[in-house]
Structure formats: structure tokens, C-alpha cells
């Protein structure tokens, strides 16, 4: 993932909790309960990140998740229709997610975890399909992975040493 150097303090970040899990560790004196929170943050303008927070209390786990996510922000390439610039298949662990461009008016067609990531990234028109594992954590990470690897037509043209018009045709 291209974790670009984005200053989280300069952005108006919104956060959403994807999942909270209760984790139990069996120790000599009984059971030890902790909580793990998967949190996605974004500014709805092309920046999104995901973090995992773990603590003995739920609010503390969420706070840690937010801090972790703010450190791992990625920039998302979007087109003028608030969709992605090209179709892409993102993978993480056993989860794969197919992201497809969509014209204006389509809305976000995505399952729970992928929908949260797309909304907070500022994407308004997209179709997605989750393939393979539907583990929420891996689906979120696969989506972030895919969005981070998207390139604008300008970046592709520069990499190939061509003009943007040559690439669009």
C-alpha cells in the first residue's frame, strides 16, 4: 500500500466502526476479556485509512483504532463523476474485492465493510463484488489496498511516457 505522507491533523476526519470483537484469553485465574475494534477513517475527499485498536474497554479500543487509522491514510484517485478511475481487483489474505467504475447516479453498490470504506473515501458511484473470504477485516484491508493502487490517467501517461489522449483512446 502506498501510505503517502498525509498530515491527519490537517484533515476533517470522520470515523466509522466496522466491527468490535470480544477476545477471551483463558489464564490460570479464569478468563481475560479484551476488545478489538476495526475502525475506518476518511475525509470523504480522497483520503481513507483503517486501524485496529485493542483494549480492555470498548471506547478505549475504538480510540486506539482511530489513532492507528489516522496514521495509515491513503490517497484515492477519483474521476470527475466521483467514481474510481479504472476497474481493479484488490486482495488481502483470503479476501478479494472487485471494484468497478460506475456512471453518475449509480450510487455505492457494495456490501457492508466495502461500503464504509467507499463512503469515507468520497466515492459516490461504484460497483463492488466481494470474492473469496468475507472476513470483515480482510475485506476492508483488500478494499483499502485496491483504492491505494488506483492510478489517474495522468500518472499512467507519465509512467508510459505518453500523452493522456493516447492512453484514453
Q: CATH code for 8-74?
A: 3.30.160.20
CATH top-level class for 76-158?
Answer: alpha beta
Q: For 44-71, how does the pLDDT look when each residue is reduced to its tens digit (9 = 90+)?
A: 999 999 999 999 999 999 999 999 999 9
Map out the domains of the chain as residue ranges: 8-74, 76-158
Among 22, 19, 47, which residue's Cα sits nearest to residue 32? 22
Q: What is the pTM of this model?
A: 0.89
For the chain, which ranges sit under pLDDT 70?
Answer: 1-5, 169
Between CA 84 and CA 128 the distance in angstroms is 11
> Could you tell me whether strands 108-109 and 126-132 are parallel, antiparallel, or unpaired per DSSP bridges?
parallel
Could you write out the DSSP letters of every residue in the chain?
A: -------GGGS--EEEEEEEEEEEEEETTEEEEEEEEEEEEE-SSSEEEEEEEEESSHHHHHHHHHHHHHHT-EE--B-TTSSBSS-EEEEETTEEEEEEE--TT--EE--HHHHHHHHHHT--SEEEEEEE---HHHHHHHHHHHHHH---HHHHHHHHT--HHHHH-
Amino acid at each position: 500500500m502506498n501510505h503517502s505522507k498525509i498530515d491527519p491533523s490537517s484533515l476533517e476526519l470522520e470515523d466509522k466502526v466496522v466491527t468490535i470483537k470480544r477476545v477471551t484469553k483463558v489464564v490460570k485465574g479464569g478468563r481475560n476479556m479484551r476488545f478489538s475494534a476495526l475502525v475506518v477513517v476518511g475525509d470523504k475527499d480522497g483520503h481513507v485509512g483503517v486501524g485496529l485498536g485493542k483494549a480492555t474497554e470498548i471506547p478505549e479500543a475504538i480510540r486506539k483504532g482511530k489513532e492507528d487509522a489516522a496514521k495509515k491514510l491513503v490517497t484515492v484517485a477519483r474521476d470527475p463523476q466521483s467514481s474510481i478511475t479504472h476497474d481493479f481487483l484488490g486482495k488481502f489474505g483470503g479476501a478479494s474485492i472487485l471494484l468497478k467504475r460506475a456512471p453518475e447516479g449509480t450510487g455505492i453498490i457494495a456490501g457492508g465493510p466495502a461500503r464504509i470504506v467507499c463512503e469515507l473515501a468520497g466515492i459516490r458511484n461504484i460497483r463492488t463484488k466481494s470474492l473469496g473470504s468475507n472476513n470483515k477485516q480482510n475485506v476492508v484491508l483488500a478494499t483499502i489496498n485496491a483504492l491505494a493502487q488506483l492510478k489517474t490517467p495522468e500518472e499512467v501517461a507519465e509512467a508510459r511516457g505518453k500523452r493522456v489522449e493516447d492512453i484514453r483512446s
